[in-house]
Amino acid sequence: MTRPTRHLLALLALCASAALAAPLKIDSAKSTVSATFRQMGVPVDAKFNRFAAQVDYDAAKPENARASVDIEVASFDLGDPDYNSEVRKKEWFNAAQFPKAGFTSTKIRATGPGKLEVSGKLTLKGKSADVSFPMTVKKDGNAQWFEGSLPIRRLAFGIGEGEWKDTSIVADEVVIKFRVLAQ
């Protein structure tokens, strides 16, 4: 290989690596992950206090985007210490054996201005499922808000076993909501 060819290949490699989207910095203090469900017909909102998200996103090339989220299930906060302790038990999240839940995207595609369809693998309590959900992206100065919600069936993941399988007490459908600020 001639010297000019080597230099050209090195330059092309450098340009290609610069074109890849860099991971965005997540503002954990302003970002949220929560869950909404019904208990005895009454809506209940709870949040996860500890999670980490990684987002690689370039609005010009959304098809190259990647995202992942790891959630510490023991941080699930229902607003009451006794309830919080209960949902960490084996019948619910089994936080001792499965301390984290997670999502990793496998495909992201634009569906309109500021709108994306995200597909990937959701893992809860050691069980994984392929999921898809809509997400919006909104500019906020130099930052961007990524927002969406994902309805799941808790029983498909073994969340709420034993007497808690009774969906007249706790509904099977849970909506996971997220709002992530990144720049």
| Residue corresponding to tokens 């495909």 | 107
Q: What percentage of the chain has pLDDT greater than the value 90?
A: 87
- Give yes or no for residue 5 having a pLDDT over 70: no
Give all domains of the chain, ordered by start, each with its CATH number.
23-182 (2.40.128.110)
Dihedral sign of CA atoms 62, 64, 65, 69 in order: positive
Q: Give the confidence band of 3 by pLDDT, cuts at 50, 70, 90.
A: low
- What the block records as the tokens of 115 is 């709108």
Instruction: Give the model confidence (pLDDT) of 89-109 as tens digits.
Output: 999 999 999 999 999 999 999
> What is the rounded (10 degree) CA torsion for 155, 147, 81, 166?
-20
Find out whether 31 and 179 touch, Cβ atoms under 8 Å: yes
What is the rounded average pLDDT for all residues in the chain?
90
Closest to 136 (Cα-Cα) out of 115, 160, 159, 165: 115
* pLDDT for res 23: 85
Query: Beta strands of 83-169 (E only): which ranges?
Result: 100-112, 115-124, 127-140, 143-153
How many Cβ atoms sit within 10 Å of the Cβ of residue 28?
Answer: 13
- Give yes or no for residue 22 having a pLDDT over 70: no
How many Cβ atoms sit within 10 Å of the Cβ of residue 88?
Answer: 18
- Taking residues 72-80, report their average pLDDT: 97
- Give yes or no for residue 6 having a pLDDT over 70: no
**pTM, full prediction:** 0.85
- Taking residues 156-167, report their average pLDDT: 94
As beta bridge partners, residue 47 has 34, 77
- What the block records as the tokens of 101 is 């839940």
